[in-house]
Structure 1
């Protein structure tokens, strides 16, 4: 009788352990979570850093030195003209450096109205996300997509004109498809991609 009770208890313990292990595995590896942190939260944290750095460079370096103190210009041909890199270029340089260091995530700055045609959306999720953040100011877009046989969690965040330097550069550029941007307008979006498998 005692042995049978021990066997039943052992079987119950084993069954509950398998159930718990299955739940943990599903949570960590079979869902939209990365090592216990939800992918949306990871993307949001990455974006908070990116947006802060971009805003600081735009407002405290480019706008101050170019528009307020008139010490130096920002120009897309900054090397030739001994100028400051544009905020979008600084953002791209950061994305390229990250891509050299890790495949854990990628990010880019895209727009429905790109000055540089390479920064136009290519995937359906990018297009839908950019349209969503442009039409729903203050809201982010989250989706999933499969690219090259790999599944990705993709987040899109509004890129807003945070200083007069953004507006004047985009509205005056020879290649711009849109010339009516105002301060605080959504000009494009930051796209962050995290692999899901």
Structure 2
């Protein structure tokens, strides 16, 4: 191949690649640069799956395992006593750390039978959601709400008693308004809040 043919092929190839590079994104989306969007309800499902998996692992493979072996124990006053946080506290603390970030994402536990008053429902949506998940615990209660000028997608998932230790702790706690939980009972909900405009 001559030097001239080589340069002609290189320029022609670069031109074709440039056109394909411009055509590909335009064909994939209506606007160039527009990122594909995932439905907020699906994002909530993904997040809930991760939160549940982390909490279940922490409950069964950290707290219960350590306690059975006498290595470490979980306690409500875990900071003062250098013990492990209770599984509910683990979820609340990780939710606090996420909320401190810039994403606007939030999650927390809520219950009409909360031991700690700050975990009681704060809005009509939360009260209605807690009632609804008692009736339909396998389906989240969702809505689009607003906080000032920010639209939010909110979902409440049933929070079930994952182990006997959860049931025992709540039934024996002096501040617990309900003392007859059984394994797998709905004890409250996990509230996820996802900003739709940030």
What is the TM-score when the length of structure 2 is the normalising length?
0.78
Q: Please report the RMSD computed on the Cα atoms of aligned residues, expressed in angstroms.
A: 2.1
Q: Deviations over 1:169-191 (max 9, x none)?
A: 11111110000011111111111
Alignment of 1:19-30 (within 5 A): none
Q: 3-state DSSP class of the match of 1:113?
A: coil
Q: C-alpha displacement at 1:127, in angstroms?
A: 1.1
Residue 87 of structure 2 is matched in structure 1 by 87
Partner of 1:41: 42
2:179 corresponds to: 179
Task: Measure the CA separation in 1 of the matches of 2:176 and 2:166.
Answer: 12
Is the counterpart of residue 111 in structure 1 residue 105 in structure 2?
no
Please tell me whether the aligned partners of residues 62 and 165 of structure 1 are also in contact (alpha carbons under 8 angstroms). no
1: CA distance, partners of 2:107 / 2:86? 17
Asked if the contact 2:137–2:157 (Cα under 8 Å) also holds between the matched residues in 1, the reply is no
Which protein shows a greater Rg?
A: 2
Q: How do 1:78-157 and structure 2 match up within 5 A?
A: 78-157=78-157
Gaps of 5+ in 2: 1-28
Task: For CA contacts below 8 A with separation 6 or more, give which structure has more relative contact order.
Answer: 1
Deviation at 1:111, TM superposition (A): 0.7
Task: Label 1:42 to 1:56 Cα distance change in 2 as closer, same or farther (>3 A).
Answer: same
Contact in 2 for aligned 1:125/1:144 (Cα 8 Å): no
* CA pair 142-69 structure 1, distance change in 2 beyond 3 A: same
Q: Structure 2 CA distance, aligned partners of 1:99 and 1:138?
A: 26
When the two structures are aligned, how many residues end up with a matched partner?
168
Moved more, 127-136 or 165-174: 127-136
What residue ranges of structure 1 are gaps of 5+ in the alignment? 1-22, 29-33
TM-score, length of structure 1 as denominator length: 0.78
